[in-house]
């Protein structure tokens, strides 16, 4: 009986190290067990080599060390996959925001045309937003999901509206939106020049 008890005492340190190495495989939270497990494994392995009468379980300690190394790779892969998924999720959300803002901007330009009979004149998002605000036409920011200005050019008879390519994702480019009811260019040529000069004076 006494021999069995002594043997259990000899094996106990290696069992503690082995259990710690097993706990290292717990998803995410297992990280906190890896380095204590490595430390205990190394410590008890050293003690078992120096004092084998008191410390045993060398084979178990070797297995524990290998498990710790595998756990490091496992946890790294787990965190890498998790953060990659989160980044892709964020990019997907920004892509959807861009689509939503594109159609919002197009709707605002169409509402302007319904109100004024012509589309606003401008070659930048800032110019057009200012005119829409003056007419109190509601719209979302003329920016994509990455807070870059939408690419827009508007004339009295038509407009072209799109966004730059997603910076991180290899996606198709965003659609180019045009006026729902484009007007003939020629009737607007003279009035466009007058309107353009007038808008430059006013702005």
pLDDT in tens, the chain (203 residues): 455 577 788 888 889 999 999 999 999 888 999 999 999 999 988 988 888 878 888 899 999 999 999 999 999 999 999 999 999 899 889 999 999 999 999 999 999 999 888 899 999 999 999 999 988 888 889 999 999 999 999 998 899 999 988 877 666 678 889 987 776 655 555 444 444 544 454 44
The model's pTM is 0.67
Q: How many domains does the chain have?
A: 2
Q: With contact defined as beta carbons under 8 Å apart, do 159 and 85 qualify?
A: no
Residue 189 within a domain: no
Residue 75 within a domain: yes
Q: With contact defined as beta carbons under 8 Å apart, do 150 and 163 qualify?
A: yes
Q: Other C-beta atoms within 10 Å of 141: how many? A: 14
Residue 159 within a domain: yes
Last residue of a domain, one of 86, 119, 143: 86
| Domain shared by 80 and 115, yes or no | no
Residue 43 within a domain: yes
| Domain shared by 101 and 198, yes or no | yes
Q: How far is CA 83 from CA 49, 79, 88, 90, 166, in A?
A: 42, 6, 8, 10, 19
Q: Would you state the pLDDT for residue 4?
A: 58
Residue 77 within a domain: yes
Provide the residue range defining the domain that includes 121.
96-184+194-202
Residue 91 within a domain: no
Residue 17 within a domain: yes
Q: Would you state the pLDDT for residue 20?
A: 92
| Domain shared by 110 and 74, yes or no | no
| Domain shared by 17 and 74, yes or no | yes
| Domain shared by 25 and 113, yes or no | no
């Amino acid at each position: 009986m006494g021999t069995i008890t002594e043997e259990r005492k000899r094996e106990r340190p290696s069992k503690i190290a082995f259990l710690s190495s097993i706990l290292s495989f717990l998803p995410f939270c297992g990280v906190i067990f890896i380095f204590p497990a490595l430390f205990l494994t190394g410590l008890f392995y050293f003690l078992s080599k120096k004092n084998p009468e008191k410390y045993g379980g060398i084979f178990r300690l070797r297995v524990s060390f290998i498990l710790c190394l595998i756990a490091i790779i496992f946890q790294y892969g787990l965190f890498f996959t998790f953060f990659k998924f989160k980044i892709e999720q964020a990019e997907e959300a920004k892509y959807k925001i861009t689509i939503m803002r594109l159609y919002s901007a197009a709707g605002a330009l169409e509402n302007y045309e319904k109100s004024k009979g012509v589309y606003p004149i401008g070659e930048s998002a800032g110019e057009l937003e200012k005119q829409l605000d003056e007419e109190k036409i509601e719209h979302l920011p003329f920016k994509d999901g990455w807070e870059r200005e939408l690419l827009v050019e508007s004339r009295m008879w038509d407009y072209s509206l799109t966004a730059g390519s997603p910076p991180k994702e290899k996606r198709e480019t965003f659609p180019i939106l045009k006026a729902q009811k484009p007007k003939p260019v020629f009737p607007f040529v003279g009035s466009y020049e007058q309107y353009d000069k007038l808008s430059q004076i006013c702005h």
